[in-house]
Each structure stands twice: as structure tokens, then as C-alpha cells.
Structure 1
Amino acid sequence: MNISFTQLRALQAIHTHESITKAAKMLNMTQPAVSMQLKNLQEQFDVPLTEIIGKKIHITEFGQEMVGMADRIFAEMDQIEQRMLELKGLLAGKIRISAVSTGKYIIPYLVADFLKIHPHVEVSLEVSNRYKVLSHLEENSTDLALVSLSPEDLDLENIILAENHWHLASSPEHASHYQQKIEKGEWHKIPFILREKGSGTRVMMEKFFQDRDIHIQSKMELATNEAVKQAVMAGLGISLLSIYSMSKEVKEGRIKLLPLKGIPLKAEWKLIWLKQKKHPPAVKAFIRWISENKEKVFNDHFEKV
């Protein structure tokens, strides 16, 4: 039997994407090359690894077992590499971080200097809405999460990083018009651009207006802060946005902040993790580094909000 790592990587990628085309893109290979790797692997077994159902390629039960074995093999290889680096006095390993949508403006600065010190550490980052980020944390599919609104039903540890402020944002061309409607209490005449359900920004916006018995008109619902910001600048309506996602546009005059009593809404950026989780050395080192350097990171890269 002559099984190569490349063949196993191809099987893993096909299992993940149920598509040879997408697997090839993931592996930075051509589609024929991935097909050949799968063919060479299959030739070593009498039992099929894959099957075609509809237009998708699926992994058989035996193929699933092979994927599990491949996962364990590569995990062991990673541990060997990590141990070799440790013996040389170098930190290695993988840190999995999930961040809420606005967190994509912050996370690169939190990890950049750390990775300069520890170049053998790998960081895996997934950006999603608050609901999905917390689900990943609860399912233990991420080590750390960057959020502004912490859940109350999970036993967590956290590092408070900085304040996060949300403002009502408008295009400059429509700001005066919307401000007049706000002052007259004519909220139903103002088109609002909302984040999707499950977003922390959506939670904060809904609570703010419900507490004040204000009924707003939803113009559209978008899945990312970036999409909301672009819609605001296009003059499609107003929205609640974190200052971290639009500070550049505000400074350049492309977004106007609308004054309103109770705004900005305030929360705190937090790096959170499950209290009972046993972290590998790389994650422990990152938590320690963030604790010691968070003020410097925010002072160096972000204006006071």
C-alpha cells in the first residue's frame, strides 16, 4: 500500500466541500490533479471511497473512516512539528479564533505583533454573526471568541479589550432630512437598514428602540456590517454601526453621525473562552500576550472613541 499525504489531503478537501472543483481551489491545485489524487487513492482499496449523488460527490461510510484516520494522522504530524519547535525553544501550534462581523477590523491588529514574535504559530480566523460565533465556542470548535455582547448562559473567562460604541449613521446628503424626522418623532418615515437576526448589532438596535417604544421601518436586511455601511453611504437609509467599522468614512465625511439621546450605545470588546477549556501552549501564550499588550494595540491602531 502506497498512500501519500497529498492523496489524503485531497480526500479531506472533497469531504469538506462535496465538490472536486472547490476542493481543488482549497488545495491550490487543478481539478484534474485532485481527481488524479483521488483515483490513485481509490485504486488501493476494493471498497469505494466516494459516490456521485445528483451533481455532488459524497464520501461513503468507508471514505468517512479514511477521513477520520487522515485527520488523526495530520494532527499527530502537527504535534510532532510542534514538539520539535518546542525543543528548540520556539512556540508553535494553532490558535482558532471566531470573531463577530465588526471584529474583522480589530483582530488583524491583535494577532499581527504576536505572530512577529512567534512566527511558527498558525492563527485560524472565522468571522460570522454573534449567534454563530457563540455556537462555535459552545461546540468547542474555536478556542477564543471576540465579541461585544457576552452571553449570560455560558461559564466564561474574558479579557476586556476596549469600549465599543454604536452610532446612528447616515449619508451626508440625507443626514439633515433624517435628523428632522428624528426630532419630530417621525421614525416610521425613516428607512432603516438592519443586520440579520443573530447579529449583536441587531440585538442592540432592537432593544434600544423597544425600550423607548419606537417603531422603525425596515428598508432592508443585510448580512455584514460592510454591506450595511455601503448601503448607508449609498443613501438607502440609516443604521446603527460600530465606530470601528466606519471611523475612516466618518473622518473623510462620507458618513454623518446623527445625534440622539442615548446614542452612542456602549459595550466592551471582549476576548472570551470557555472557563473549563484546557488550552494548548500557543493559546495560553496569546491570552497572556493580549492581557499585557491590549492597551498598546488599541492606542497604536485605533483613535479614542
Structure 2
Amino acid sequence: MDETTQLMLRGVCRGLHLAGYFTAFGTMFLSALLLNGVTVRGHKTLVWAGCGLAILAGAGWFLFQTAYFASTNNLSAIIAALPIVAQDTRFGGLLLGRLAVLLLAALLFQANRPRAAALLGFGGVVAEAWLGHGGAMAGWEGTVLLGSAIMHLAAAGIWLGTLPGLCLAIAVVAEPGPLARRYSPLGGLCIAMLLLTACIQYALLIARPGAFLTSAYGAVALGKILLFGGLILLAARNRLYLTPTLPETRPALLRAIGAEMALGLLVLLAAGILLQLEPPAMAGIT
């Protein structure tokens, strides 16, 4: 397996891991905050599905990351290195710890304790920040990047993570209008936070606009920006045109949320790949 293929596989596994983690946490958050602790039919299954995806993709990420650390494609050597990575690296400890937290949160949700589950899941979501560039850098830049990554993950987990649960709830509740109207300000706040933190991260990691066209990191980042722009347009359409006229527009809103979920998955896959690449500011690319 060549280096580029291994990098892509690590990135895809990381993106899918985030998608599963966000889905499980977001469903808990939606139930705890916007549904006042009520669990809609199908939400418990959705949490387990997200948890399963996070575990399976996390296992793949762990395996490919171990191969990267050990600089080998030999399966026996990779398996031998797994305990070392689990015990002696920040990556291994954080990934396994976050998965344990997610499992505990899922069990709490099944026991009809959505608020405790959401709080625990939130901790697992933001802990991902220590596996990014901010967690590895020293000095004021590392501190700023870590803080922005925490806010970025929180906003992404709440917005993208709640979309599957929101879609399910709007499909089954008798009166979807009040839920959709309560959700809109929260989605807007998350979008604003994502835009702000993305600007901070790109200013520190990409540094110059020309790097969007002269580096692999910049090209993937540009693709992620375009996908995010599509997400914002869909969210704006939902809020301005579809939500005010519910329940008549329920089918159209469900289709639009489905499109948001698809774009959101692509954004997370792009983010997973992006985090495997060296930022232009670190590589000296202009």
C-alpha cells in the first residue's frame, strides 16, 4: 500500500468516525435540549447506529494510524504495534477513551437519561481537538488553534450531529413546526461559530490565499469550504422558506435535511483527510 493510499484511508476512517460520533451525540443533544428529555421513536436505534459506525471506523483509523506510526504495511508488525500505540501515545489513549465515553453515553441514553448522556457525549466530541494540529503545537498558536478546534468541533457536533435525529423527529411528530422553529436559531449559532473558527484556523494554518492552489492541504480545504457553502445555502432555504410553512412543506423539508446530511458527510470526510496533511504554514508553502 503506497503512502497516498494509506493517508486517504486514514482520513476516510477518521471522517466516518466523526460522522458516527456526531450522530450519536447529536441525537442525545436533540432529545435533551429541544425535545425536553423526550425520546422520539427510533432515536435509541439511531444512537446505537452512530455508536457502531464510530467504533468500526475508529478501529480502522486506529489500524491505519498504527501502520503509519510503525512505518510498515506488514500485518503482523502492525498487530504487534497496536498495544504500544494504545498505551504509549496520545492518539491511542484519546481514541480508546473517547470510544469508552461514547459507549457509556449510549447506555445512559438507553436508560432514558438523555441529559447525562448528552453531557458525556459532548466531552467525547470536544476531546477530538487534542488529536488535531492545536493539540500538537506549542506556544500561543497552539493554544489558539486548540481553543478554536474545541469550539469548531462543538458547533459541528451540535449542527451536523443533530440532523439525522431532527429528520427522524420531524417525520414522526404530529406537529413538526415548533421543533423546527426551536432548532433554527441553534443551527444559525452553530454556523456562525463554524465560520469564525474556520477563519482562525485557516489564517494560522494556510496563511496565504495562494496556498489554496499550491498545496494538497489547500486544495482539500478549498473543497471543504465549497461543500460548507452548499450546507449554508440549504440551511438558509430551510429556515426562510420551508420551516415557516410546516406541516405543509414537511416532505420538502425532509428531503432538504437529507441533502444536508449527505453534504455534511462529505464535509467530515474532507476534514478527516485534511487532518492527515501538513498545513502550508508549517511546510513553508506560500
Indicate whether the TM-score tops 0.5: no
- Using the size of structure 1 for normalisation, the TM-score is 0.24
Higher helix share: 2
Q: Which has the higher contact order (CA 8 A, sep 6+)?
A: 2
Greater C-alpha Rg = 1
- Using the size of structure 2 for normalisation, the TM-score is 0.25
Higher strand share: 1
